Structure 1
């Protein structure tokens, strides 16, 4: 599932518009990475977006 366990960011839906202005549905998916992180003092596998990893919201387990 394309959803961040930390911030809750998920898939966003919208409309793709071509050069000739034909419209079709599309989805913007977040950059989700499965990482081993420290959650409540113990290591656990979570799905985190790269923005949460980069900002330091997730502490990675070694």
Structure 2
């Protein structure tokens, strides 16, 4: 399953681990996704979504 927020589309970001000896290896920062039962526009039923915590905090998601 993809690490992508279903509201804002935010996905993982990529960068480097850099050691004290300046050895460089690739790493990734995943999005903090939470499964949420939320109301979706256009329908009265609640739907299960995987949403990032920044969308939950900002109020973009209305929990059912």
TM over 0.5: yes
Q: CA deviation digits over 1:3-53, x for unaligned, max 9?
A: 100000101111111111100000000100010000023200011000000
Question: 5+ residue gaps in structure 2?
Answer: none
Where 1:16 maps in the other structure, the secondary structure is strand
How far apart are the structure 2 equivalents of 1:18 and 1:9?
A: 28
Where 2:62 maps in the other structure, the secondary structure is coil
Superposition pairs for residues 19-58 of structure 1, below 5 Å? 19-40=20-41, 41-58=44-61
Q: TM-score, normalised by structure 2?
A: 0.89
Aligned length: 61
How far apart are the structure 2 equivalents of 1:42 and 1:54?
A: 22
Question: 5+ residue gaps in structure 1?
Answer: none
After TM superposition, the runs of 4+ consecutive aligned structure 1 residues lying more than 6 A away are: none
